[in-house]
Amino acid sequence: MKRDLIGIEDLREEEIRAILERAMVYKRMRNENRMSSELRGKTVALVFEKPSTRTRVSFEAGIHEMGGRPIFLSSQELQLSRGETIADTARTLSRYVHCIIARVSSHPNLVELAKYSSVPVINALSPLQHPCQTLADLLTIQEYKRKLEGLKICWVGDGNNVCNSLMLACAMLGIHFSLACPKGYEPREEILGEAKTKAEAKGSGLEIHHDPRLAVEGADVVYTDVFVSMGMEGERERRLLDFKGFQVNSELLSHAKGDVIFMHCLPAHRGEEVTDEVMDGPRSVVFDQAENRLHAQKAVLAMLLG
């Protein structure tokens, strides 16, 4: 039976840990110039409605290094742009490829794509979740902190798709999650409710603050993202006003633990959500985090197509 990765909750706790373990194997192999062959003879479609640097390149490189063949399809190259239904697109692509990776503007459309596809569908970003980013984040945290359970991760900024996936994963894995955002920018109620339920079952902490200094107190990890996401350019002026005081700078980091690491899913708007001093400073792990997209996604592909 085919498996999809639409949201991080599609994975069980033990599957997340297995993916991280396998990702480390792929990372060691690559550092030793050894490639794997799990995708030999496999073709993978990358359906992208939104542009990307890290997501596209990490998936294409990963598929190639595992012996597979990636086929990139922008929205302009699909008949969706001329009125073909998502269901028909899914049914057709399923006859040609072994997996569909989709970066979409509508989460319900992604769900529909997965419903009618007979091959695995992987969420490479939707407005609701970004599970592949979260797996790379967890891999990075585990590398630097040597554990996950019992840590405190503080998210500073918008309760967006990246926040949603990370918050759910933390609840599942016994990681304390602290969110600092302006009022009105909290995660969506259904995601927040699910995270609270999972956190209670696991004994994980989940806090929401409107004062970033309170939120980062004692944090092992401080994480932020752009205040103005792709497609929200019309809200730029209002958002920058609303997020005044939420910038991750040296002063804010001083309220966290002394060995705190700073994370950002990139691209960063330097001078807005984060300063150059933090981005380029000794606590920053953002480029290791970006690299780990490659290794974590290889492990996801191996799990779903193995």
Which residue from 121, 85, 94 is spatially nearest to 7, judged by alpha carbons? 121
Concerning whether 76 is annotated as a catalytic residue, the answer is no
Concerning whether 293 is annotated as a catalytic residue, the answer is yes
All residues at 6 or more sequence positions from 134 whose CB lies less than 8 Å from its CB, including other chains: 8, 162, 165, 166, 168, 169
DSSP-based three-state secondary structure for 284: strand
CA–CA dist 173, 191 (Å, integer): 16
Concerning whether 295 is annotated as a catalytic residue, the answer is no
Cβ burial of 104 (10 Å; 0-12, 13-18, 19+) is: buried
User: What is residue 81's predicted lDDT score, i.e. its pLDDT?
Assistant: 53
Of the candidates 103, 176, 239, 295, the residue annotated as catalytic is 103
Question: What are the two backbone dihedrals, phi and then psi, of residue 121, each rounded to the nearest 5 degrees?
Answer: -120, 130
User: What is residue 77's predicted lDDT score, i.e. its pLDDT?
Assistant: 80
Residue 236 DSSP one-character state: H
Q: What is the CATH number of domain 133-289?
A: 3.40.50.1370
Of the candidates 30, 130, 264, 295, the residue annotated as catalytic is 130
- Residue type present at position 259: D
Concerning whether 297 is annotated as a catalytic residue, the answer is no
Of the candidates 56, 239, 265, 289, the residue annotated as catalytic is 265
Residue indicated by tokens 């085919």: 2
DSSP-based three-state secondary structure for 5: strand
User: What is residue 80's predicted lDDT score, i.e. its pLDDT?
Assistant: 67
**Which stretches of 119-234 are DSSP H helices?**
131-145, 161-173, 189-202, 212-216
Of the candidates 4, 54, 98, 133, the residue annotated as catalytic is 133
Of the candidates 56, 264, 293, 295, the residue annotated as catalytic is 293
User: What is residue 231's predicted lDDT score, i.e. its pLDDT?
Assistant: 74
Residue 266 zone, left/alpha/beta (φ > 0; ψ -120 to 50; rest):
left
Domain boundaries defined on the chain: 35-128, 133-289
User: What is residue 51's predicted lDDT score, i.e. its pLDDT?
Assistant: 86
Identical fold between 35-128 and 133-289: yes
CA–CA dist 18, 36 (Å, integer): 17
What parts of the chain have a pLDDT lower than 70?
80-82
User: What is residue 198's predicted lDDT score, i.e. its pLDDT?
Assistant: 97
Of the candidates 154, 225, 264, 295, the residue annotated as catalytic is 225
> Residue 301 is encoded by which pair of tokens?
């592909």
Could you read off the pLDDT of 241-295 as tens digits, one per residue? 999 999 999 999 999 999 999 999 999 999 999 999 999 999 999 999 999 999 9
Cis omega before residue 267 (within 30°)? yes
Concerning whether 103 is annotated as a catalytic residue, the answer is yes
Q: How far is CA 72 from CA 46, 75, 97, 111, 121, in A?
A: 5, 10, 12, 20, 15
User: What is residue 78's predicted lDDT score, i.e. its pLDDT?
Assistant: 79
CA–CA dist 26, 141 (Å, integer): 17
Could you read off the pLDDT of 15-42 as tens digits, one per residue? 999 999 999 999 999 999 999 999 999 9
Concerning whether 34 is annotated as a catalytic residue, the answer is no
**Dihedral angle sign, alpha carbons of residues 277, 278, 284, 287:** negative
Kindly indicate whether the domain formed by 35-128 is annotated with CATH number 3.40.50.1370: yes
